[in-house]
Amino acid sequence: MNGDEGQPRRTDIDGAAHGIPTLTVAELEADPHGVFRAWRPRLPVIGHEVAGRLVLRATDVDRLMRDPRLQATETLYPETRGIPNGTLFDIFADGMLTANGAVHRRRRSPFTRTFAVRLVEGLRPRIRAAADDLARDWIGQGEIDLVERYTALIPARTIADLLGLPRADIPRFTRLAYEVSRVLSFTFAPDDVPDLEAAAVALRDYVIEILEARRSAPRDDLLSRFLAEAEAAGELTPQEVVIQIVQMIIGGTDTTRVAGAVQVALLLQHPAQWEAVGRDAGLIPAAVAESLRYEPSVGSVGRVARDDIVLDGHVLPAGRLILLSTMSALRDEAAYAQPDTFDIRRSDLPRLHPVFGGGAHRCIGEALARIELEEGLGALLRLTPDLRLAGAMPVLQGHSGIRRLNGLRVAAGRARPGPVQA
Ligand code: HEM
């Protein structure tokens, strides 16, 4: 995650008509920052061997998020990837993430109140206590995998508590969610589809089980309120009810466990910044935001163009998948000073962080994710200021969708004595 210099390894020009290179998934996966850095000053868009087009520049990505000529992809993505039916397909057909217009509003609106910033802020003390508890579990034990023991568990517990899922179910639903979320990457092979589908079916069945339990015995949790609201309004089909919860579990776990680990790794790699945040907790939100810029856990959002869209003379063709690369945009030298430098004190990040998308689909869980990331980091700085990387800096893989991290080995000394500070 050092922002090494890189050059495009292949310049396979995809026809004179388009005049842009088509990059393979292997090239993009091998060094996404290098590829984006090399092409972005020259072209606003490059070809992507599966998705069609990938938009590179910050101003274009930002503008196109809200451009009515671009739409959510509905079922185009699974169709493009050879998934014409089944539960994986249903997640796209019936979920809010890929829906448009009134259908999207209908699916999203039952959640908007619950995820409102003011209400989510009320969860902060509980999330802080959970982070403290989880950290105290392993501090003093020597080397551990921070993802497994900490950064995965904070969002998993939060989503379990929000939805009223038993904590004992965390290993079951997180394993399934991480597996299903692989469908959003371009690295799975046709042979992997049966496994992904099996995970999607198991996750759907798990949600159906929980929903049935809530229907017969409602509780004071989001799920019971959502069910009551959705059923009273009669606006969502039973299948839509299930799929929105499945999406909430996927969106609420994988993205944030990766981001939680990346921010710790980046700060430990830059010890002066780790120490600065340790001395001044007021810097925590900026450290979270800069980590999300420097190595975003979500690399792009997918759209489809209704009509041909011309970008500086290059066409985004109607009907093709288009990736708006937030990952590239967040390192755009036209938008950020020294974009390949990790600097928690930078002043050029926009108020609305681009990593959470824009327009009608802007991340519904943004406020919650920020709290989880801030509190997760805060607890480590308070309780184990001598935390250090045990081994090499981990590599965050992937150029689109939810990116992947194979664990983060760290070593923590003894727990800091004394009361926990607020
Ligand atoms: C660091 C953490 C996160 C990142 C980087 C992230 C990123 C994003 C992005 C970029 C989108 C927009 C996708 C698009 O426009 O196509 C999105 C949508 C969404 N996110 Fe997140 N997210 C995060 C955490 C969460 C959490 C914690 C939840 C739930 C608790 C969540 C639930 C969702 C849902 C349901 C949508 C679909 C919204 C819609 O289509 O209206 N996300 N997220």
1 in any annotated domain = no
State the CATH number of the domain containing residue 274: 1.10.630.10
Q: Is the CB of 368 under 6 A from ligand 1?
A: yes
16 in any annotated domain = no
Residue 263 has pLDDT above 60, yes or no: yes
Predicted confidence (pLDDT) per residue in 229-253, tens digit: 777 777 889 999 999 999 999 999 9
9 in any annotated domain = no
DSSP label at 11?
-
Q: Is the CB of 160 under 6 A from ligand 1?
A: no
Residue 4 has pLDDT above 70, yes or no: no
Residue 162 has pLDDT above 50, yes or no: yes
pLDDT bucket at 195, cuts 50 / 70 / 90: very high
Taking the CB of residue 379, how many other CB atoms lie within 10 A of it?
A: 24
**Centroid of ligand 1 to alpha carbon of 365 (angstroms):** 6
418 in any annotated domain = no
Q: Is the CB of 376 under 6 A from ligand 1?
A: no
Report the domain count for the chain: 1
The percent of residues above 70 in pLDDT, for the chain, comes to 94
pLDDT given for residue 41 in this prediction: 96
pLDDT given for residue 361 in this prediction: 97
Ranking 218-227, 343-352, 409-418 by mean pLDDT, the lowest is: 409-418
Predicted confidence (pLDDT) per residue in 304-316, tens digit: 999 999 999 999 9
**Centroid of ligand 1 to alpha carbon of 48 (angstroms):** 23
Residue 418 has pLDDT above 90, yes or no: no
pLDDT given for residue 228 in this prediction: 81
Tokens 């001598």 belong to residue = 386
**Centroid of ligand 1 to alpha carbon of 364 (angstroms):** 6
Residue 213 has pLDDT above 60, yes or no: yes
Q: How far apart are CA 304 and CA 51, in angstroms?
A: 10
Helix count and strand count (H, E) for the chain: 18, 13
Of 335, 304, 299, 297, the residue nearest 318 (C-alpha): 304
Please check whether residue 274 is in contact with residue 422, taking contact to mean a CB–CB distance below 8 angstroms: no
pLDDT given for residue 415 in this prediction: 58
pLDDT given for residue 10 in this prediction: 35
Give me the mean pLDDT over the 354-366 stretch: 96
pLDDT bucket at 158, cuts 50 / 70 / 90: very high
Q: Is the CB of 71 under 6 A from ligand 1?
A: no
The percent of residues above 90 in pLDDT, for the chain, comes to 81
183 in any annotated domain = yes
pLDDT bucket at 419, cuts 50 / 70 / 90: very low
Q: Tokens at residue 81, please?
A: 């990837």
Q: Is the CB of 364 under 6 A from ligand 1?
A: yes
DSSP label at 19?
-
pLDDT given for residue 14 in this prediction: 44
pLDDT bucket at 15, cuts 50 / 70 / 90: very low
- Boundaries of domain holding 84: 22-412
Ranking 49-58, 121-130, 154-163, 210-219 by mean pLDDT, the lowest is: 210-219
Among 109, 113, 255, 264, name the best residue to mutate to test ligand 1's pocket (greatest count of ligand atoms within 8 A of Cβ). Answer: 255
**18-49 as b/e: b if 16+ CB within 10 A:** eebbbbbbebbbebbbbbbbbbbeebbbbbbe
pLDDT bucket at 417, cuts 50 / 70 / 90: low
Please check whether residue 54 is in contact with residue 46, taking contact to mean a CB–CB distance below 8 angstroms: yes
Please spell the DSSP secondary structure of 102-160, one letter per residue.
HHHHHHHHHHHTTT-HHHHHTTHHHHHHHHHHHHHHHTTSEEEEHIIIIITHHHHHHHH
